[in-house]
Each structure stands twice: as structure tokens, then as C-alpha cells.
Amino acid sequence: MDMEVTAWTSLHSAMNARERREPFSRATLRRIGSFARPHRRKILRFLLLSVVTALLAVATPVLAGRVVDAIVDGDDTGTVTRLALLIALIAVAEAALALLTRWLSATLGEGLILDLRTAVFDHVQRMPVAFFTRTRTGALVSRLNNDVIGAQRAFSNTLSGVVSNLVTLLLTLAVMLTLSWQITLLALVLLPVFVLPARRLGSRMAALQREAAGHNASMGTRMTERFSAPGATLVKLFGRPAEESAAFAARAGRVRDIGVRTAMLQSTFVTALTLVSALALALVYGLGGHYALRGGLEPGAVVALALLLTRLYAPLTALAGARVEVMSALVSFERVFEILDLKPLIEERPDARRIPDGPVSVEFDGVSFGYPSADKVSLASLEEVATLDRRGGDRVLHDVSFTAAPGRTVALVGSSGAGKSTIAQLIPRLYDPDTGAVRLNGVDVRDLRADSVRETLGMVTQDGHLFHESVRANLLLARPGATEDDIWDALRRSRLDGLVASLPDGLDTVVGERGYRLSGGERQRLTIARLLLARQRVVILDEATAHLDSTSEAAVQEALAEALEGRTAVVIAHRLSTVRAADLILVVEAGRIAERGTHDELLAAGGRYAQLYRTQFARPGSPEAHPGGRTPDRVVVPVVEGP
């Protein structure tokens, strides 16, 4: 390895070292061992090849010295030829071993990345919804990318580097001492001049790199927010383009300045260490030549010492920075393990069972619930805060009890924030109640298998979220085995078949991030088509028609009526015209069921439901203003939520 390359590697390690310095943790090492165990045979072969490579690296300078001695001594050409051929064979072997070692390093490192990423991804999928509402997505993705790759380097780079460099160092020192202990000791005197600047300059450059990383992260966040469809719209409506550009340019300018300064520091450092290496070689040639001329050293030994010098400084410098690399890798491992140590609030029991075939009832029995505090579901580092907010746990539902009989529809109405969506989220077990039970066909959802619950329950939320994938992929998420005819039937019933047929690539048209290439009503109808395709036995509609115009709503209501026939349904709506036909209407206020009954019964009672109804539909002098008045078949008026 060339000294300049080694110098750069040493400086790079110091630059990328984490500020945190933690002692070796036996628990962390044991967990690392558990991930490494499936790859132990590859690791052993990897280490053995590293040792053999180190042996060959030391052999070449020794043979080169013998060639010089053979020439000086006037040996026959056969000796020189044999030595040259041996050097050539060693070079070929080194090249072959380098490729084999690189292949083992790549397969080992990439295998570890696969194991770590899969473990983290699977674990994150089991986390409750509260985890995702608090965590910054970018910080979480960084754990699966940067930290996993940092941990992988511990095996693919650091491990082999420590072993091969240690073997190379010991062999080189042994050979050099046998050739000339005086020159060897003098060469070692220059080592501090080689290593110490890397530490000092490395810390300065690390500070610059951290500042640049902070500015780059800020610019990345700014671009992500401003370049998304809703962000760009907000900037155009309320933003100040000149100020936005100036703020971005200021950070970009600072990154430019840091880049120039970093480049000059790197160049100065490498140039200085190149000079040191030249001085070390001059020392070997000068002192070695002096000894050779006086007969105290063979000429070939001088050449061997000069070549071995590069084999000495390279591993010494690398080993000096090995601790930095090891600690950096340990920090990466600990950041990955930090995610894996978060306990999911929702766990499937070993003896969980499936929901039997046939119609399904939904029952709430004395359910009370409060959202968990941040310290139970999140990490400060993922939220990018100093300490987690420990507030939470306040009850948002109080002793909620009701039953949706098989094939019946229960509607939840009430003011915003009353707890309607929370009730809906407890049915598919996005959360577990604090007290009481949610049952499907009389069985607590905590005793049911998660896949059975997913196959039984279908839910359409208010935002109608879609992935940045094709129409087909978004629909098949609900039912991967659906046929082309099934897909088009669901689109027809959601009144989207004409639109999809007119798209450039039909079903294979990409809908854009969060479906923003479609209108709000089209996005919502596509999520309803997904529900129709799934054919689940229990349907939860959380403001499923909130973004539809009157024409689209009428079409989708017809489709929903067809889809809900014979199925149990829980419907949340502010638009009371959509829930009049429900078998049971529950008025939810402050986390409690304030009223229950049919549409006509609640109007006749003159309570909160009647008040909400009058707020939405009443016009002076109209019969709808009175609880006993006739309700229209369809009323199209501005929607106003209950006060």
C-alpha cells in the first residue's frame, strides 16, 4: 500500500469518526456476534486469506533484495530468473487473493446489511401507529441506510484491516530487525511525525464535515418540503420566493466555503506526509548505503529495507486509526440495536386463532383508551429532540360499549376530536384498549391472528393515501391474487373505470407521490375501489366520501351500498345525509357515547344529534329545521361540523 494512500485513509477515518466515544459493551458485542454467527465460515476464510495476503506482501521486498544481491555478487542468470519468476508468481497470487478477498468482503458485508436491514424493517412494521406519527421519516430511513452501512464496515473493512495489518506489521518488523535493527529503530522515530498530524487535522476536518452535513441535511429537508405537491402550493400561495432563495443560497454558499477549505487541508496534509515518506526513504538509502559501502550491510538488504518501509508505515498508521473505526462501527451497531430494542405495543399471542367464516359482529365492551406517551413508543434521536415528551396517557375514550350485529351498519357522528376515529382504529387493532375489550364474533381481537384480522377488516381513511406506484399496484395491495377482471369490476363499481381506461398506461399508470397526479375525489374513489376489491366482511369508513363532489358522492354511495350489502360496517361521517340509513347511530362527544338510536329516533329526542342536524340542514322556515320534519332524500349544502 502506498504511503500517500495510507495517509489519506488515516485522515479519512479521523474525519468520519463519531464524536461519541463509548466503551466496549459486552452486550453489544454479543448481539453483533449473533448477527455474525450465520456468516462465521465466511469470516474465518476471510481472515485466513487476509493473513496469507500479508505474508505475500512481506515476501516480495525480501526477494527483491535477493535479486540485487545476486546481481552484485555476479551469480548466474538462472538464479536471477528464478527469483524474478517467483516474484511474478507472488504478484499473480496477490492479485488472485485480492479478488477473492474482495469477493468474500463484499458477500460478507452485503449479507450483514441484508440481515440488519431486514431485521430493522420487519421490527419497524410491527410498531404502533403512534411511533410513525412521532418519528421523523428521514431519521428512521437513515438508520436503515447510513447506520447499517456503518455497521457493515466493521466486518468488510475494519476486521480484515486489523488482522492483515497486524500480521504485516509483525512480519515486517521481524524482517527489518534481522536486516538492520539500527535503521529500523531510526525509521520508527519518524512515525509520530506521520500519525499525529492525522489526529489533529482529522478533528478539524471532522468539525467542518459535520457542519457541512448539517447544512446539507437542512437543504435536503427544505427541498423535500418545498418540492412536494402541497409544499410547493403553499410556497406559491404564501411564500416569498426571494427570501426562500436567499436562505437556500446562504447555506449552499457555506457548504461551498467548507468544501474549498477541506480540499486545501487535505492537500496540505497529504503533501506533508508525502514529504515525510520521502525523508524516511532518504534515511534508509543514506544510512543503508553508508553501511553497505563499509561492508556492514548487503546492497540487497538496503533495497529490501526501503521496500519494507512502506509495508511498515502503512499498517502502523492504519492500526493507529483502527480504534476510531471500531468505535464508529460500534456506534452504528448501537444505533441499529436502539431501534430493535423498542418494544412493539401490539404483540400477537402464540396461541392466536383465526376468525371463523361467515358474517362478523363488532362489539365494544366497556372500552377506555388513552394514546401512549412518546417515551413508550419513540426515541429522542428519531424525533430529533433532546428529551422525549412524557406527557400522554390521558383517556380519550371512556367506557364505550356498543355492538354492530353481523350485516348491520353502525354510524359514528359528533364533533371533531370527540373520539370517532380512535374508536375506528381500535377495531383493526392499530392500538389496544387500556380497559375493556374489542371483540369480533365474540373473540377479543388480542386473541386473534393479525393476518386473519387484516383479511376480515377493510378500512378507508379520510386522506385516501396512495403509494407512488401504478394504479394496479395500489389496488393489488388489498388482494394480491386478484385477476384483471376483478380489478376492472372494482373500478367500475367505484365509477373509475372510464378514468383509468383513459390514462396513458391504463392500470400501469403511476399515480404519483401520495396519488397527487389524481384529483382528491379520484384518489378517494381509488381507495374505495381497493376496498371493493378486497371483499372483506367488516368495513370501516372514516369520512370515506369527504373529498367527493355531489355527483361523485352519489355514484360512490351507490357503489358502497352494493359493497356493504350483507357486511358489517362502521361508518364515521360529519355529513349526516350519508348515515341516515344506518341501523344504529352513535353520537360521540368527549370520548363517550352521548346518544344512540336510529336517525328518526335521535331527531325525535331533540338532543345533540338533532342539534347537529339543524346546523347542517336547517334553513329558515323549512321543515328540516324541526326534529319531526321530513328529511330530504338528498340535500346539498355547505358542510359545517358540530360546534
Q: What is the pLDDT of residues 120-170, one digit of tens each?
A: 888 888 887 878 877 777 677 777 777 777 777 666 666 667 777 787 888
Q: Which grid cell sits at 48?
A: 485466513
pLDDT range class, residue 628, cuts 50, 70, 90: very low
**pLDDT at residue 253 is higher than 90:** no
pLDDT of residue 281: 77
Q: Highest mean pLDDT: which of 165-169, 203-207, 386-390, 556-560?
A: 165-169
The model's pTM? 0.67
More confident residue, 235 or 439: 439
Q: Which residues contact 493 (CB under 8 A, 6 or more apart)?
A: 529, 532, 559, 562, 563
Least confident of 232-241, 355-364, 482-491: 232-241
More confident residue, 11 or 60: 60
Distance CA 151, CA 18 (A): 13
Distance CA 447, CA 211 (A): 51
Q: CB 249: neighbour CB atoms within 10 A?
A: 11
At 121, give phi and psi (nearest 5°): -60, -50
**pLDDT at residue 51 is higher than 70:** yes
**pLDDT at residue 86 is higher than 50:** yes
Secondary structure of residue 440 in the 3-state scheme: strand
Helix axes 181-189, 299-320, angle to 10 degrees: 40
Among candidate residues 172, 205, 199, 198, the one with its CA nearest the CA of residue 276: 198
pLDDT of residue 145: 75
Q: Which grid cell sits at 230?
A: 402541497
More confident residue, 29 or 121: 121
Distance CA 562, CA 180 (A): 94
Domain ranges of the chain: 3-340, 362-374+393-625
pLDDT range class, residue 106, cuts 50, 70, 90: confident
pLDDT of residue 399: 93
Q: Which pairs with CB-CB distance under 8 Å and at least 24 residues apart come from 186-191?
A: 186/283, 186/287, 187/280, 187/283, 187/284, 187/309, 187/312, 188/312, 190/276, 190/279, 190/280, 190/283, 191/313, 191/316
Q: Which grid cell sits at 413?
A: 357522528
Provide mean pLDDT across the span 200-221. 69
pLDDT tens, residue by residue, 369-387: 988 877 677 777 676 665 6
Best CATH choice for the domain 362-374+393-625 from the list 3.40.50.300, 3.40.50.11740, 3.90.650.10, 3.40.50.720: 3.40.50.300
Q: What secondary structure letter does DSSP report for 371? A: P
Provide mean pLDDT across the span 404-426. 89
Bridging pattern class, strands 409-413 and 568-572: parallel
Distance CA 416, CA 612 (A): 12
Q: Are 491 and 529 in contact (CB under 8 A)?
A: yes
Q: What percent of the chain has pLDDT over 90?
A: 11
Q: How far is CA 110 from the centre of its chain?
A: 17
Determine the Cα angle at 538 with ends 542 and 641, to 5°: 20
pLDDT of residue 625: 43
Provide mean pLDDT across the span 507-527. 80
**pLDDT at residue 604 is higher than 50:** yes
CATH code: domain 3-340 is: 1.20.1560.10
pLDDT range class, residue 620, cuts 50, 70, 90: very low
Q: Are 635 and 624 in contact (CB under 8 A)?
A: yes
Helix axes 160-179, 181-189, angle to 10 degrees: 130
